[in-house]
Structure 1
Amino acid sequence: MGRISLLKSQRLAVLPITSYDLESELAVVDGHEYPGEYDALTFGSWSCHVLANGSGTDSDIAFRPHGDELALTELGKRLPTIMSIVTNHFSLDRLQWVRIFALRDGGMAPHVDFLEFEEPGTRLQVPLRTSEESLHSENNIVYHLRRGEVWKIHTTDPHSAGSTSTIARLNLCLDYADSEKPVEIRGDIPATEPVRIMERPEPTEEEREELLDSCRRLTAATMRPAFRRFAETHFSRHVHAREVFDWYVEAARRSGDEDMVAKARAFRTYCIEKRSLGETFEW
């Protein structure tokens, strides 16, 4: 139970998700094109699909706070049932972005959101389709979001998501201005199951050494795919999200190439320490 008390992300509610017929609309999301805005942070198949934002433009997917009126994108107009979940259950006051994050056989590098902005917002996620293989993490804790659960994601500590499933997990993501004010949630149902925390064994010294030695021949072309193993270890072993980057930098040192070490350190900075507005990471 100790690890549950350390989890800063919160399950706020459970929605009656089975009362919505979502299959045809989820298939639309499956076939929707993603322009690769966050590719530097992702591996495998991760994508972002915008249903509503400040511009009403599908291709406008890079998060930023805005003061515009929320506008449906063309994709959002094609997904009336999913949008009805938003309007039926959530306050629209301060709501700035409605997106769906798709994840299949892949994940994200541990990262801290809102580093480039003066004030963090409030991010809610609701799985519309998920499986046991689809997981979230925060610091050294890995947990599972069940379908229909409403989670307030603690975005200002290192966190991540990963899945080994070949079926895309689809999470509805709602971004609100202001991190302090609560979001009104209506029409929820009682939670019947406890928060799902995943137990992971400690890594053995042999496992750690094998992972660090995997980068002895690291090159500029292999740096990004090589990082995937480090991120995946975080979900299978009890390794802190920050430690993923410590191991990656140490592994880069074993290549004997100072350029690789500098790039590994720069990636850690970009993901969890400091980013400027509009900055992108070039592998």
Structure 2
Amino acid sequence: MRTQLIGKIEFDQVRLSADLDRSLEVTYAEPYDEFACGRPWKSVMLLAPGGGEGGVLADFDPRRPSAFTKAGEHLPYIQEIIRDNFAMEHVTFARLVALTDGVLVPHCDYVEMSTDVERQRIAHRVHIVLSTSESAKFNETDSVYRMREGEIWAIDVTRPHSAGVIDNTRRVHLLVDLAYVDDAADLFTFDADLSGNFPQANICDRPTLSDAEREGILSMSSVIDEENFMQVMGLVVRKHYRNDGGPDFVWRSMNEIAERSGNSTIVKMVSDLYRHTNIVRIEGAHRK
């Protein structure tokens, strides 16, 4: 499914707040540290094939039937949200993801899915926004937008995307991965709007990046090194959330910073990170 707003939930705020408090008691993984600039992107599996523990989708055998994990059983209202809104026979994974004061490298998901079974069982991703603020933003290709609390979004994670929170807000989303079916409407038990709805009101109005600002970003070529590489990447991503720098701003800027640096190691780090996050997961392409 392409990225679109497909529905909205009116939460029981008392029960949701109780579950979000309880969610602080469960053990989160930090599975994609190479994607994170700033504080880590954290996740905890609530439902997975076999109901066991793991940090990333590749830890599980998608041929096994899915069941709630111990963490999922600990959060009864969030478990109810899943049961009430999705056809459970088609739900492969569900997890909470939390992000605070950090941004993610623009990346594509599912590139590590190598078999037909995996691709069939993990075909669609849906975000339900449990807790957020105006400082929490999402990016797909060159668009930056906000997902509002209670909204249900289908996300085309095969396209380059990232997320960011630029203050100390704890943004919590429920991510649900769904199997392929002939009619996507069969995945949901609510009346999902699959018309491609992408409200203009959700799109962030970003001023155009000035020439001086662009040169300031590129001037980091004089200080970038192996130790501060991800900090520089984070500053570029954060700028993308605030200003419109044109097509493919983040990777275009990082490539130019690397070339200007004259450091072949930095050039290779940018190339390796792009390939790892957007084309194929590569061992050894993590941050230095």
What TM-score do the two structures reach when normalised by structure 1?
0.88
Greater mean alpha carbon deviation, residues 173-182 or residues 209-218: 173-182
Which residue matches 1:142? Answer: 144
SS at match of 2:254: helix
Matched residues in 2 for 1:14 and 1:157: separation? Answer: 23
Asked if structure 1 preserves the Cα contact closer than 8 Å seen for 2:138 and 2:146, the reply is yes
Deviations 1:216-251 (A, max 9, x none): 122211111221011111111113573311211211
Confirm or deny: 8 A CA contact 2:95 2:176 kept in the other structure: yes
User: For residues 187-244 of structure 1, what are the alpha-carbon distances to aligned partners after superposition, in whole Å with 9 as ceiling and x for unaligned?
Assistant: 56999x8651111111111111111111312221111122101111111111357331
1:76 aligned partner: 72
Confirm or deny: 8 A CA contact 1:110 1:241 kept in the other structure: no
Greater per-residue helix proportion: 2
Deviation at 1:41, TM superposition (A): 0.3
- Alignment-derived partner of residue 50 in structure 1: 45
CA distance in 2, matches of 1:86, 1:213: 47
Q: What code does the residue aligned with 1:253 have?
A: E
Structure 1's unaligned 5+ residue stretches are: 1-7
Tell me the residue number matched to 2:92: 96
Out of 191, 202, 213, which is 1:196 matched to? Answer: 202
Secondary structure of the 1:93 match is: helix
1:32 to 17, 26, 30: 26
- The answer on whether the counterparts of 1:130 and 1:146 sit within 8 Å (CA) in structure 2 is yes
| Structure 1 residue 282 displacement after superposition | 2.1
Q: Which amino acid aligns with 1:55?
A: G
AA of the residue aligned to 1:186: T
Q: Which runs of 5+ in 2 are unaligned?
A: none
CA–CA distance in structure 2, aligned partners of residues 34 and 54 of structure 1: 18
**Residues 214-253 of structure 1 aligned to structure 2 (within 5 Å):** 214-239=220-245, 242-253=248-259
What TM-score, normalized to structure 2?
0.86
Letter in 2 for 1:111: H
Give the residue type in structure 2 aligned to 1:34: Y
The alignment partner of 1:76 has SS state of helix
- Percent identical across equivalent pairs? 25
> Could you tell which deviates more after superposition, 61-70 or 259-268?
61-70
* CA pair 11-154 structure 1, distance change in 2 beyond 3 A: same
Quote the residue 1:5 is aligned against.
Answer: none
**Is the CA contact (8 Å cut-off) linking 1:89 and 1:188 kept in structure 2?**
no
What's 1:265 paired with? 271
Report the CA distance shift for 1:155/1:219 in structure 2 as closer, same or farther (over 3 A).
same
Q: Does 1:109 align with 2:105?
A: yes
Q: In the alignment, what sits opposite 2:286?
A: 282
Local SS of the residue matching 2:20 = helix
